[in-house]
Amino acid sequence: MPSALAAYRICDFTGQLAGAGATKWLAAFGAEVIRIEDPVRQGRWDILRGNPPYKDERRGIDMGGAFNNHNTDKLGITLNLKTDKAREILRRLVALSDVVSENFAAGVLERWGFGYDALRAIRPDIIYVSNCGFGHQGPYSRFKTWGPIVQAVSGLTHTSGLPDQPPAGWGYSYMDHTGGYYMAMAILAALLHRQRTGEGQWVDLACTDAALTLNGPALLDWTVNQRGLRVAPVYSNRDQHGFMAPHNIYPCAGDDDWIAIACRDDAEWASFSALINQPWTGSFSGLSARLEGQDELDRLISAWTSTRDKFETESLLRAHHIPVGAVQKPSERIDRDATTGRFGLWPTVEHSAIGKVRVDGQPMHFSVTDWQQTRGAPCLSEHTRQVLTGLLGYTDAEVDAFQAEGVL
């Protein structure tokens, strides 16, 4: 099967998830992603390197499960950029690369002497994509972020939670994932522009900009109707704009088991009422009755669900064409839910130190140029010699000398 992106080489400084997730996509579609790491700190500018989870009892800088998950199919080299020789090696690599990618705090690469002007001097059509929390321009450009901070500032945290409770926000870095998706889009778009015009450019991506746009209808409600969400009660399990009820997450019989149920219209409510066969459903026959009595409605539905198994209830409601989804635990959606397995969503990769391990795959299939994830993340410096001798034209003796001098 041909690879969609085999024509492209990425000189990759990204790390963690907001950056590494972007270049993981490119590598899965065949791009040659060469990850550059710092030998002095053993690549720890990516805090995930060497950190849990671990597949077995072994520990160490190469054994981190999260790092492996985000860096499949990439090559890894080390360069001590405090040395002139490493900087010269980097210049050679940039000259042979289509893209330079990074998600450091604003200005870090510039301070190392590899800002956009320096990169462009090495290769005029280079594409440089930076991804930082607040971007390189604007009042907050010096401010630092990680996923939860992006979510907080952009409005994604405030809106998520239950009434009379603090914000629940997101129990993971939604905007590290999603920032990575936008970074991948930015790189791909810049490559398309170059394919058409031959021009490179610098794309200054800001995770918070992208995050801000993810509450669009609410923002228009603000700009058009001056209705804001600071004063509105937060109840994110209910329907966003009050045109469906019931619409909530209800308790089930098992340990921390829950189920999401919604009725989009009177017909689905009628099906649900017939199915559960409870005397009280008659008092909720119109949408306005269900919206006005929603607290009571939710209490009554909870009483019905709370003695029932979540998956049996899910099957029952599905059979009656009522929108439903059991709240799946990781074990359930990965190993019990046959749809993810059939999709091939959890490929097993071979990591040079960890061995075989399952990772997040990609959630689509291409009929001609599908993705492939077969190789685990690079061990620290795993491909340094291969890249320097195979791609950059150094001899083995030169690489030996670089190693002896602390360049690599």
Select from 141, 161, 157, 140 the least CA-distant residue to 149: 157
Tell me the DSSP string of 113-176: T-SHHHHHHH-TT-EEEEEESS-SSSTTTT----HHHHHHHHTTTTTSS-TTS-----SS-HHH
Select from 5, 21, 42 the least CA-distant residue to 379: 42
Q: Which of residues 126-145 bind another protein (CB under 8 A)?
A: 133-135, 137-140, 142-145
Burial letters 48-59, b for 16+ CB under 10 A, else e: bbbbeeebeeee
372 scored as a contact of another protein (CB under 8 A): no
Name all contacts of 239-245 with Cβ < 8 Å and 24+ positions apart: 241/217, 242/291, 243/287, 244/287, 245/287, 245/290, 245/291, 245/294, 245/297
Give the residue with the Cβ less far from another protein, 66 or 399: 66
Site string for another protein, 334-363 (x = CB under 8 A): xx-x-xx-xx-xx----------xxxxxxx
Give the residue with the Cβ less far from another protein, 82 or 227: 227
Residue of 250, 272, 284, 402 that binds another protein (CB under 8 A): 250
Q: Which of residues 70-129 bind another protein (CB under 8 A)?
A: none
Q: Could you tell me the smallest distance in angstroms from the CB atom of residue 124 to another protein? A: 13
Q: Could you tell me the smallest distance in angstroms from the CB atom of residue 14 to another protein? A: 16
Give the residue with the Cβ less far from another protein, 171 or 282: 171
29 scored as a contact of another protein (CB under 8 A): yes
Q: Could you tell me the smallest distance in angstroms from the CB atom of residue 128 to another protein? A: 11
191 scored as a contact of another protein (CB under 8 A): yes
Measured CA to CA, the distance from residue 67 to residue 39 in angstroms comes to 16
161 scored as a contact of another protein (CB under 8 A): yes
Give the residue with the Cβ less far from another protein, 379 or 399: 379
Give the residue with the Cβ less far from another protein, 79 or 100: 100
197 scored as a contact of another protein (CB under 8 A): yes
Total Cβ atoms within 10 A of residue 291:
18
Paired residues of 130 in beta bridges = 102, 204
Place of tokens 């490179």: 200
Among 12, 46, 62, 176, the one annotated catalytic: 176
377 scored as a contact of another protein (CB under 8 A): no
Terminal-to-terminal C-alpha distance of the chain: 35
**How many residues lie near another protein (CB under 8 A)?**
153
Q: Which of residues 37-76 bind another protein (CB under 8 A)?
A: 52-55, 65-66, 68-69
Give the residue with the Cβ less far from another protein, 34 or 66: 66
Q: Which of the ranges 3-11, 278-286, 385-393, 399-407 carries the binding residues for another protein, by CB under 8 A?
A: 3-11
Q: Could you tell me the smallest distance in angstroms from the CB atom of residue 370 to another protein? A: 9
How long is the chain?
408
Q: Which of the ranges 79-87, 117-125, 256-264, 397-405 carries the binding residues for another protein, by CB under 8 A?
A: 256-264
11 scored as a contact of another protein (CB under 8 A): no
Measured CA to CA, the distance from residue 179 to residue 161 in angstroms comes to 22
Give the residue with the Cβ less far from another protein, 303 or 396: 303
Measured CA to CA, the distance from residue 7 to residue 241 in angstroms comes to 46
Q: Could you tell me the smallest distance in angstroms from the CB atom of residue 139 to another protein? A: 5
Q: Is 257 labeled as catalytic in the residue annotation?
A: no
293 scored as a contact of another protein (CB under 8 A): no
Place of tokens 């492996």: 68
Chain centroid, CA 11 distance in Å: 20
Total Cβ atoms within 10 A of residue 92:
15
Measured CA to CA, the distance from residue 42 to residue 45 in angstroms comes to 8
Site string for another protein, 299-338 (x = CB under 8 A): -------------------x--xxxxxxxxxxx-xxx-x-
158 scored as a contact of another protein (CB under 8 A): yes
Q: Which of residues 200-239 bind another protein (CB under 8 A)?
A: 201-203, 205-206, 208-210, 212-225, 227-230, 234, 236-237, 239
CA atoms within 13 A on the CB side of 183: 36
Q: Which of residues 258-277 bind another protein (CB under 8 A)?
A: 258-262, 264, 268
218: exposed, middle or buried (Cβ count in 10 Å: 0-12, 13-18, 19+): middle
Q: Is the distance from CB of 361 to CB of 371 less than 8 angstroms?
A: yes
Give the residue with the Cβ less far from another protein, 123 or 333: 333
Point out the residues that are catalytic.
176
